[in-house]
Amino acid sequence: MSSRPEILFPLFAALTTLDGIGPKTAQILAESGISRPRDLLMTLPFSGVDRGQKASIRNIVPPATVTVEVIVGEHYAPTARGRPYRVHVTDMQTTFQLVFFHARGDYLSKQLPTGQKRVVSGKIEVFDSLAQMVHPDHIVRVEDAGDIPAFEPVYPLHAGITQKLMWKGTRAALGLAPDLVEWIDPTLKAQHEWPSWQQALRDAHTPEAMADLSPHAKARERLAYDELFAHQLTLALARAVARRGKGRVSMATGKLQAQVLAQLPYAPTKAQERAIAEITADLAAPIRMNRLLQGDVGSGKTLVAFMALLAVVEAGGQGVMMAPTEILARQHLDGLQDLAASAGVTLELLTGRDKGAERAAKLARLASGELQILVGTHAVFQKGVEFQDLLLSIIDEQHRFGVNQRMELGAKGVAVDVLVMTATPIPRSLALAQYGDMDVSILDEKPAGRTPVQTALVSTGRMDEVVDKLRRAVADGRQAYWVCPLVEESEFLDMTAAEERFTRLRAALGEGVVGLVHGQMPPAEKDAAMARFVSGETKVLVATTVIEVGVNVPNASIMMIERAETFGLAQLHQLRGRVGRGSAASTCLLLFQEPLSETGRRRLEILRETEDGFRISEEDLAMRGAGDVIGTAQSGLPRFRIADLERQAALMQIAQNDARKLLSDDPKLETARGKAARTALWLMEQDKAIRLISVG
């Protein structure tokens, strides 16, 4: 079944097939992402106006929308240019005016004949202590009052589209919505008291009160669930296809792991032990591992990753660890070298810089199996890089693989086990949206020996004091990061801000004390500036957010973040995680510019209260919304039309369980419910999933 089911054809036809939508309107709607009747149905009202008829405007507190029956009185045409046309009207208890600008008198006297009754609906306001309704939304005869909806849905609008048009268009589209076979598990549907798909659409587009617009209203919840279910079904199919790809059984002996653990000055945390056990079990299973290791800043992901690499070396194979930048790859190398030496394992770095004979020698050792663990940038995927027997690929996903890239990686058909690591604590619902095709291990404890970071909020008005403190700290041999504000408009402005701060600090602290790194520098210069800071030659590093991830300088114990209110919470948390890595007491100063908004202050205070990245990410999600938290642009996060990841987070978990269960009962989606689920995939435009079924 690789073509769209016929029952859905009308929903995917041109918009012009709908009553009242011509080519021009269709084009304007298309610009706002509505190009077929289906899109119109999935654009739900975001608010509503109570147009229930009142006896009088007398007890209404303006400004407010009112629907009221009136007797039309005198008309007053404008006496001068630019003055409005006024019509006096009287309801059961009081008199007010209807006001029209640029109006034609002949048209208005037809619409509102003096002495007759009309029902008007619009916003009542007070001007010069007179109640007035400017340009009523509705003027109808008393017998047609039923045409005014008692509760009128308000749709999100694009320039050139009116509420009336959206009302007409959505009514026409509702007429096309077929009665589809149910794809939701019957027990689940009954438990949540959800209506059918067709009924849910009708209810969502004809709300009767504000409560019907809530994400928790039954109709909306059902429609959101459909979207999340189709998305999770796609991820579950991807997972099933990946698992069908026969994995290799890598049986670890535990010998090298034990050697390394014995060398460590501390014992692993319970979370680390649990993650190591989950990964080792996956490696030993005959299906391919596709696991996400999610850990907060400083939760000890490196050790877990290294244990996984040792497991495949014990099994007689090789492992690779990939980082997004050369700086991070070198850091992984530094972090792992001593551990590898204590286990007698060979480990080397491969980046785009390796050239000539040196590179050829490395590749030869890799191909012969003499080189057991390779650390590198994406250069490890280049042509000519051949492993003797690669069993495990670890991706440090600062570069955020989307689901599609992961599918491509899997499609290469190598039976390699894959472990993806992320240092961004992602709220549960978003983790499921982004990584629903993977199994997840979470590190939610800090290893012993990490010093807590003292966080303080300081206004930029006290900049001189701050620089003085920094001067004293540097004199005491401490090192500090100074992160410059994020300038939205361009990287060029980010660079200018950083260069300006660098010049000022150099003037205040002296030549040779301050270094600078920003995104526009050539990589070699950036590396050199970092190296000077790592070696302690420079004491203060002025930087844009390039240091957000992974940079490890144990001696650096001060983090200054200028204009902290311009950063996301998760980002501030990542930056703060760059200090507190050594034995020195560490501080993080959040420099903010007055005046701070209420939410701005709340966000910075959350950071002062807690170092728990998961709690911070949940708060961030509640305050800013999903797209912002992981930065939708590079996140591979799906865009939902109806589902609200912040307010309907719990539905995502239910959808994942339901989708995975359906596939385990009916892997080819051939039962009645399976076929209905295929229709849902077509309806939600999950064409990739349809292709995966045909692959299967």
Provide CB contacts within 8 A for 24, sequence distance 6+.
none
Per-residue confidence (pLDDT) for residue 252, from 0 to 100: 80
Nearest Cα neighbor of 333 from 364, 306, 297, 368 is 306
Q: What is the pLDDT of residues 587-606, one digit of tens each?
A: 999 999 888 888 788 888 88
| Cis status, amide bond into 63, omega within 30 of 0 | yes
| Cis status, amide bond into 207, omega within 30 of 0 | no
Give the C-alpha distances (Å, rounded to integers) separating 450 from 186, 501, 573, 611, 677.
50, 30, 15, 12, 49
DSSP character at residue 590: E
Its pTM stands at: 0.64
Tokens coding 653:
């978990």
Provide CB contacts within 8 A for 435, sequence distance 6+.
292, 420
Strands 117-127, 130-134: pairing is antiparallel
d(CA 631, CA 104): 51
By CB atoms closer than 10 A (0-12, 13-18, 19+), residue 211 is: exposed
CA angle 406, 407, 411 (to 5 degrees): 120
Nearest Cα neighbor of 191 from 160, 210, 218 is 218
Helix then strand then coil, % of the chain, to nearest 5: 45, 20, 35
Nearest Cα neighbor of 42 from 163, 164, 161, 177 is 177
Per-residue confidence (pLDDT) for residue 353, from 0 to 100: 81
By CB atoms closer than 10 A (0-12, 13-18, 19+), residue 587 is: buried
d(CA 683, CA 685): 5
Per-residue confidence (pLDDT) for residue 412, from 0 to 100: 42
Provide CB contacts within 8 A for 169, sequence distance 6+.
15, 18, 20, 21, 29, 40
Q: How many CA atoms lie within 13 A of 461 on its CB side?
A: 5
Q: Classify the phi-psi angles of 251: left when phi > 0, otherwise alpha if psi is within -120 to 50, otherwise beta.
A: beta
d(CA 625, CA 215): 14
Give the C-alpha distances (Å, rounded to integers) separating 615 from 115, 440, 609, 610.
65, 18, 11, 8
- By three-state DSSP, how is residue 511 classified? coil
Residues in the chain: 696
3-class SS letters over 314-366:
HCCCEEEEECCCHHHHHHHHHHHHHHHHHHCCCEEEECCCCCHHHHHHHHHHH
| Helices (H) then strands (E): counts for the chain | 24, 22
Domains, in order of start, for the chain? 6-48+157-204 (1.10.150), 49-154 (2.40.50.140), 255-443 (3.40.50.300), 453-634 (3.40.50.300)
Give the C-alpha distances (Å, rounded to integers) separating 388 from 312, 337, 368, 370.
13, 21, 6, 9
Which residue stretches of the chain have pLDDT < 70? 1-2, 242-246, 297, 397-415, 425, 427-431, 434, 436, 447-450, 486-495, 545-551, 621-638, 646, 694-696
Per-residue confidence (pLDDT) for residue 189, from 0 to 100: 95
Nearest Cα neighbor of 556 from 568, 567, 565, 543 is 543
Per-residue confidence (pLDDT) for residue 545, from 0 to 100: 66
Strands 514-517, 95-100: pairing is unpaired
d(CA 224, CA 42): 10
Number of Cβ within a 10 Å radius of residue 109: 14
Per-residue confidence (pLDDT) for residue 413, from 0 to 100: 40
DSSP character at residue 81: T
Residue 319: phi and psi, rounded to 5, are -135, 155
Provide CB contacts within 8 A for 132, sequence distance 6+.
86, 96, 97, 98, 99, 124, 125, 126
Buried b (16+ CB within 10 A) or exposed e, 398-407: bbbbebeebb
Per-residue confidence (pLDDT) for residue 629, from 0 to 100: 41
